Amino acid sequence: ELDGRPAEAQAEAKADADTKGDRLSKRFTDLEVGSTLQGTIKRHRGNAIFREMDPEGRGALAFWVDMGEEKKGLLEACELRDGFPTEAPSGKTVTARVLEVRDNIWYLTRRSGDLRRPPREKHGDPDINAIVALKKKPPGMWITGVVDDMVVKTYAGGVFVKVVPSLADTKYVIGWCPMDELPDTFLDSKQAIRGGSVRVRVLKADPESKEVLLSMKPLPKQTPQTLPPQR
């Protein structure tokens, strides 16, 4: 009676635990891309796994989903909902689908529709020549970019956009489009997804700091100045 219970009771409890463990192991073994599961969202940022996904340390957010029995799925901010992620539902029990299984990580999504996504890229140092070329763009000129990642509105939200200066260029730059430069029409659009095509303007391109600031809003119209009547 090592734990105060009769030997038979201990053996029965162990058998029940083993049976439960076998059922859970089978359940997780049966999971595949597209499978639906439930779990509790917990906020998460900055661990080694996420730094590998985000080597530039851009501060993008992801969330662990506790699936039970020490199993966790990773729910990236851009997969929280259809459209732009407006809130961080930490502590909520949610239903999600398996988006991808890679390096023993269960990537999840709460989005509806197609599960195909562009491959995740490890971005190196930005190309200075590409930043210089972007700096030469007129303020009102639209260029096409691709949504690379999103940060929840609750945490100084915005969108990371992959842009190239021109069709002739092969080097790209990851620019930042803050929340106040996102039009309302973008928030629930089909373009608000990793890999979505967007039009942006260059607000700032600094080769020294390697900072690229973008906008999805049109250039504000200038109010014509009214000249005083001539006497």
Torsion over CA of 138, 141, 147 and 149, rounded to 10 degrees? 30
d(CA 92, CA 40) in angstroms, rounded, equals 5
d(CA 176, CA 158) in angstroms, rounded, equals 7
Cβ atoms of 187 and 78 closer than 8 Å? no
Print pLDDT tens along the chain (231 aa). 444 556 565 555 554 544 444 444 445 667 889 999 999 987 665 444 444 444 444 445 788 888 876 778 888 889 999 999 988 777 889 999 999 988 778 899 999 999 999 888 778 888 999 999 999 999 899 999 999 999 888 777 899 999 998 877 778 999 999 999 999 999 999 999 999 999 999 999 999 999 999 999 998 876 666 655 665
Q: 171-202 as b/e, with b when 16 or more CB fall inside 10 Å?
A: ebbbbbbeeebbeeebeeeebbbbebebebbb
pLDDT digits over 1-11, tens only? 444 556 565 55
d(CA 147, CA 161) in angstroms, rounded, equals 5
Alpha carbon distances (Å) from 160 to 26, 93, 155: 39, 28, 14
pLDDT digits over 107-156, tens only? 999 999 999 998 887 788 889 999 999 999 998 999 999 999 998 887 77
The single-letter code of the amino acid at 230 is Q
| Bridge partners, 42 (sequence order) | 64
Q: 10-20 as b/e, with b when 16 or more CB fall inside 10 Å?
A: eeeeeeeeeee
Give the position of tokens 């608000």. Answer: 192
The single-letter code of the amino acid at 213 is L
